[in-house]
Amino acid sequence: MAHHHHAHGHDEHRHEQGRHDHEHLDWAEMAPLLESQAELFTPLYEHALAWLAKEVTEPGLIVDAGSGPGVISGLFAETFPGARIVAVDGSEPLLERALARAERLGAGDRFATLTGDMPGVLAELDYPADLLWASRSIHHLGDQGAALAACVERLAPGGTLAVMEGGLPSRFLPRDIGFGRPGLKARIDAVEEDRFTRMREELPGSVAQVEDWPALLTAAGLHHTRSRTFLLDLPAPVPDRARAYVVESLTRTRDMLGEHLDPDDRAALDRLVDPDDPASVHHRPDVFVLAAHTVHAGVRPV
């Protein structure tokens, strides 16, 4: 998922001219999608949080850095009923959603938000964090090593930094879908990798980095680094909201990356997202969601 852009015809055009793609990332506009997606992925996050909870006991302050609409921040509030939570993000409208969610969960009194550009804004936190979580946000920052160092600086001694980065590309359909050349999603993933590379290259202050997250955490001064991958496994037949996610995801792929696929693959993708086609993901019985996200964690020495 990770890489949300909106589908505007002119974006594609600018892209071709090598302009700055990320300037058109409108996170607030992505809010409903980010939120429904995070809600669908809740079982995965719950497993990740249960894993963290085994080693992070009774944190006083949890910071969700790059929280977006705060679905995971809300899960932190539920998993750690004694903790205060601060959701940090560059997008004020997303943080408003995060706060509203915390209030719905009855955790509004121990929930706060901080708006600003990461990593600099982290310096504005009033207290050091016992647990600092950053899921799929560090990769939006030009210098990921410096961003991790800024996170570590905001950790209390003995505090844990956990970043969710990497994993596996998601799968939604069998390899052979009955038309087109089998293996369409693997070829889409290859195009997506290139788009991700361009996105990173165009970030302000972009620094090329070997994406060895445990090594990066160690370099940022953390000990006891460990990684674990969590699955979202929604087999067919999927509930409507999972199907809606697959429709949205493939429609975005078609609009954003379609031009980079060969004509046969583009035609197959067009069929898959066409609501009038009985073989589309709107109707097929074989749609599933299989996703894998990795969490890398480390502890600041006491």
Ligand X SMILES: C[S@@+](CC[C@H](N)C(=O)[O-])C[C@H]1O[C@@H](n2cnc3c(N)ncnc32)[C@H](O)[C@@H]1O
| Residues making contact with ligand X (CB under 6 A) | 2, 27, 34, 38, 66-68, 72, 89-91, 94, 117-118, 135-137, 140-141
To ligand X, the closest distance from the beta carbon of 41 in angstroms equals 7
Q: Are 281 and 243 in contact (CB under 8 A)?
A: yes
To ligand X, the closest distance from the beta carbon of 151 in angstroms equals 12
Phi-psi region of 68 (alpha: psi -120 to 50; beta: other; left: phi over 0): left
- Say which residues have a Cβ less than 8 Å from residue 282's Cβ, sequence separation at least 6: 243, 247, 273, 274, 275
* d(C-alpha 194, C-alpha 261), whole Å: 12
Q: Which is nearer to ligand X, 187 or 195 (CB)?
A: 195
To ligand X, the closest distance from the beta carbon of 38 in angstroms equals 4
Q: Which is nearer to ligand X, 91 or 177 (CB)?
A: 91
Q: Which is nearer to ligand X, 2 or 125 (CB)?
A: 2
Write down how long the chain is.
302
The number of C-alpha atoms within 13 Å of 192 and in the hemisphere containing its C-beta is 20
* d(C-alpha 175, C-alpha 73), whole Å: 35
* d(C-alpha 227, C-alpha 211), whole Å: 13
How many contiguous H segments (helices) and E segments (strands) does the chain have? Answer: 10, 7
Q: Which is nearer to ligand X, 46 or 274 (CB)?
A: 46
To ligand X, the closest distance from the beta carbon of 67 in angstroms equals 5
Q: Are 245 and 35 in contact (CB under 8 A)?
A: no
Q: Which is nearer to ligand X, 44 or 184 (CB)?
A: 44
Distances (CA, A) of 73 to 68, 156, 219, 233: 9, 19, 27, 22
To ligand X, the closest distance from the beta carbon of 1 in angstroms equals 7
To ligand X, the closest distance from the beta carbon of 225 in angstroms equals 20
* d(C-alpha 299, C-alpha 69), whole Å: 26
Q: Which is nearer to ligand X, 64 or 265 (CB)?
A: 64
Token match 């788009």: residue?
195
Q: Which is nearer to ligand X, 53 or 279 (CB)?
A: 53
To ligand X, the closest distance from the beta carbon of 245 in angstroms equals 13
